[in-house]
Structure 1
Amino acid sequence: MTEGRKNAAVLGASEEGGTGWAIAQALAARGFAVTAGARRQAGIDKLAGEIGGKAVACDATVEADVARFCEAAAEDGGIDCAVLVAGAGVVGLIDDIPADTFARSMKLNFESAYLFVRHAARAMNDGGSIVLMSSIAGTNPWHGYFSYGCAKAALQMLVKYAAIEYGPRGIRVNAVCPGPISTPAAGHLLDHPRAGPIVAAEVPLGRCARPEEVAEAVAWLGTAPGWITGETIHTDGGMFLRRPPIVADIKAAMAGG
């Protein structure tokens, strides 16, 4: 570990302006030496250059990659904070989703989480913290996203089991549960003049989150509260108190209807 600095690992941080990127920046701003990981090397190379960190290519669904990533993040004295951001919404109904699409959704959105917890904990210093990224789809059914929602619901149960298993080492395991986030990847929807307001209307605070707002919650949960573990905290502006937007309304708005 660099003298006087703790080590953080952020997996899923290659999109400039994305949530993982913002989380890595927030942890670096708190004095952590950050190892950033993602499948795309170019993005994490740029991020690492900006924050004075390290970049390691990693596919979150491949156990050997995850193990190598965590080992690299621990090279200078063990991991103190580990965050998994990698994941993606997968669309399909129970009746018609192809089996390989369902399997891919579970692998990316749930199996990657248990692989990350396993190897991050092995490389982690006692008293460290693991934070996973869930979704409002894991608590509030969102039509058409059943595989994604089920995977995220399983992730939230994983958080509870992991909090118990790693508690004797003082390792805390928690998750954040955001709604839609205004990232470049989501801009086609959230910045759409007709569809965007439909989504924002279901958020009591009146808009979707910015990446840095979710990042601040993750950084706080991962570094500050020494007596919180096994929790999933909503970071969605209160959207969980209402309902997800109706997908048919969004499609009609984007089509000009």
Structure 2
Amino acid sequence: MQLKDKVAVVLGASAEGGTGWAISEALAEAGAKVIVAARSMDGLERLAAKIGGLAVQCDAGNETDIANLARVAAQTHGAIDIAVNAAALPVISMIADVTPEQLQRGVEVNYFGHVHFIRHMTQVMNDGGSITLISSNSTVQPQPPHFAYACAKAATDCLVGYAALEYGARGIRVNSLLPGPIKSALAAGLFAIPGVEELYASHVPLGRVGLPRDYADTVVFLSGPTYITGVNLPVSGGNHLTGMPRLEDVESGADAYRSDKTA
């Protein structure tokens, strides 16, 4: 197992069938000792029991919680080798309608939280470790009405380069993933609409939407002894080359598309 006896922290792992959950399972399968964290403990303790890990409550937008997560990890294992922040807070609004509260909370989780995560995890991380942040393809392909979410994640993509430079002298690698459409727990309602999965898959050169395991396998790879840092890596089946469906297609055209596709 390529990560045998490594210690990993995964933030944003409470949703069964979600990306953080799959990442935690994959790291454990690769031999790592995994601490899982999320704001909600629902499901988190079940995941920890399943993979033989430890569950810690942590709000991804709260620096005090993140500092405590790092402290618990260090107290439990001495130091960590791998840190993954898969937490995200969707903010759905057009620019004309967004509230100050939406902007603030979106930035707290989707940008500030990553800054806090990097700072505190590197304080308890062995030299030669790996940090992976989960960003979004929406940072490079506008997807209204997700501008507030995408702009915060774009700041995180910029952060990746700065962190890679700052911590490179310690051999710590910092990267992010830019997922395309994911058939995960968070998107279950969307992909339950007839025709929507086929619609999204038609925008993916590899012909299918992503699954949480696709991203988990990439995180495991980046957590090993790679020569990769400072990269915002599209993991989208090629969707970054084509773009997402338009919102109006998702809302009103999915059934028609499905009929055309299966005719």
Name the residue aligned to 1:90: 91
Judge conservation of contact 1:56–1:69 (CA < 8 Å) in 2: yes
Deviations 1:104-126 (A, max 9, x none): 11111111111101111111111
Deviations 1:73-130 (A, max 9, x none): 2221201000000003211111221121111111111111111011111111111110
Separation in 2 of the partners of 1:165 and 1:124? Answer: 14
Separation in 2 of the partners of 1:79 and 1:167? Answer: 16
Name the residue aligned to 1:173: 174
Name the residue aligned to 1:11: 11
Query: Where does 1:80-159 land on structure 2 (aligned, <5 Å)?
Result: 80-159=81-160
TM-score relative to the length of structure 1: 0.94
Determine helix, strand or coil for the equivalent of 1:132: strand
Unaligned runs of 5+ in 1: none
Q: Which amino acid aligns with 1:177?
A: L
Name the residue aligned to 1:63: 63
Separation in 1 of the partners of 2:175 and 2:243? Answer: 24
Shift of residue 148 of structure 1?
1.1
> Over the residues paired in the alignment, what is the CA RMSD in angstroms?
1.6
Name the residue aligned to 1:194: 195
Separation in 1 of the partners of 2:256 and 2:217? Answer: 36
Separation in 1 of the partners of 2:194 and 2:52? Answer: 38
Q: Which amino acid aligns with 2:73?
A: A
- 2:223 is the counterpart of 1:222: yes
Shift of residue 192 of structure 1?
2.0
TM-score relative to the length of structure 2: 0.92
Structure 1 stretches of 4+ with a deviation exceeding 4 A read: 254-257
Name the residue aligned to 2:212: 211
Moved more, 196-205 or 154-163: 196-205
Separation in 1 of the partners of 2:121 and 2:224? Answer: 15
Shift of residue 168 of structure 1?
1.1
Name the residue aligned to 2:162: 161
Judge conservation of contact 2:85–2:132 (CA < 8 Å) in 1: yes
Shift of residue 215 of structure 1?
0.4
Judge conservation of contact 2:9–2:84 (CA < 8 Å) in 1: yes
